[in-house]
Structure 1
Amino acid sequence: MFEVATILLFVSSAILLALSPGPDNIFVLTISISRGPLAGITTTLGLCSGLVVHTLAVVLGVAVFIQESALAFSLLKLAGALYLAWLAWKIFRAPAEELVSSTSSESYKRLYFRGVLMNIMNPKVSLFFLAFLPQFVNPQLGSVTLQIALLGLMFMGSAFAVFGLISLAAGRIGRFLRKGKGALILNRLSGFVFAGLAVKLLLSER
C-alpha cells in the first residue's frame, strides 16, 4: 500500500520522535533505572498499547473533538496529571525495598496498566497523532482508515524498539545504582520525576 520511500521516511521520523525527550521515554527511563530492564519493557508495552487508543481516536474523529473542545482537553489533561501525582505520592510513601524488590506478576501487571493509563490520559498524544499521521496518508492508495491504522502500528513498533533499548541500557545502569542507599535515592528521584511530569502535563496547552 505504501511506497518504500514513504515507509522509510515515516519510520525514521517516528524513531527520532521517540528519541526526543518527552514524558514517555523519561517515564521508561525512570522505571528501568529504579526497577530494572524487564520493568521498563513491561511499561513500554503498556505505553505502546495506549497508542492503539490514540490511533483509534484519530480514525473515529475523537481527536478532532478533543482538539475543538477546551473542556474535553482540560478534563483529560487534569485526569492524567492527577494520576501522575498519585503515583508520585505512592512512591514517596512506600519504602524503597518494596518498590525495588517487588517482581511479582501482579507488580508487572500494574506496570503495564500504568503505562497504558499514562499514555491514554495524555491528550497531547492524540493531537500529535491527528497532526502527524495524516501527513503520510494518500487517499489514492485506498482506505484512509486502513492507512492510518497501519501507520499507527508502524509508529508503535518504532516506539517499542527505541523504548526497549532505553529499558535495557537504563536497567544495566540501575543495577549498580540500586545497591545500598542508592535504592532509596532512586525511588525518591522517581517520585520527583512523576511529580514533575504531572506539573508539565497540567501546564500544557493544546
Structure 2
Amino acid sequence: MYQDILIPTDGSDGTRQSITHGLTIADRFDATIHALSIVPEGPLGTLQTDEAIPAAERAVERVETEATREGVDAVTAVEQGVPHEEILAYVDEHGIDMIVMGTQGRTGLDRVLVGSVTERVVRMADVPIVTVRLTDDLRIEDADEAERIARKTAEQEGYSEISVREDPHRTSASWIVPLETDSGPVHVHVDALTSEARLASGTETT
C-alpha cells in the first residue's frame, strides 16, 4: 500500500516522534523512508546561517541512522526554499505515498515554524498525512550532562583516557558526543528523553 514515506525533519525535538512513527509504518509495509530537511527561505529573506546546512544534513543523517538500525531503506535530501513548497514538490517528484510529520516544535520560533508548515502541508497535499504531536518532555537539555553520561558509558565499555573531541550536539532529541579514547575515536549517542546511551563507530557523522 505504501512504498515511499516522507519524514520532513529539522532536527528539532518535535521531529523525534514523527521519526519513530514513520519508521514503524515503513517497517510494517516494507517501505522506503525519505528524510527531507529544508533550509528555509521566504519573502523576508533567507533564515540560512553558516550552521544551517550542516544542521540540516545532520538531521537527515540521524533519520538514516535510525532507519538502518531498524532495517528500513532510507533516502536523504537537503533542499533550500519555502518549507511547505519544498515538501510538496518533493512529494510530487519522488512519488511519495505518505507524509509523517510533527505538529509543533518545542518553543518560540521553532514552535511557530513547524506548526505553520504542517498546517500548510495538510491543507495542500494530495497524499495521506500522519501528524504526530510532541508529548514527551526532555530529561537532558544540557550538553554537560550529555557529556557526563557519554564518558560514563565509555568507561563501562572498557575505554580509558577519555576526552571530548568536539562539542556535543543534539538532533531529534538525541545528544551526539564525539570522544577520543585509548582505542581511538568513538561517538556516544545519548537519548535526551530516556538518558539511555549507546556507542557508535568513531567515523559516524550524525
Q: Which has the higher helix share?
A: 1
TM over 0.5: no
TM range (shorter): under 0.3
Q: Which has the higher strand share?
A: 2
- Structure with more relative contact order (C-alpha pairs < 8 Å, separation 6 or more): 1
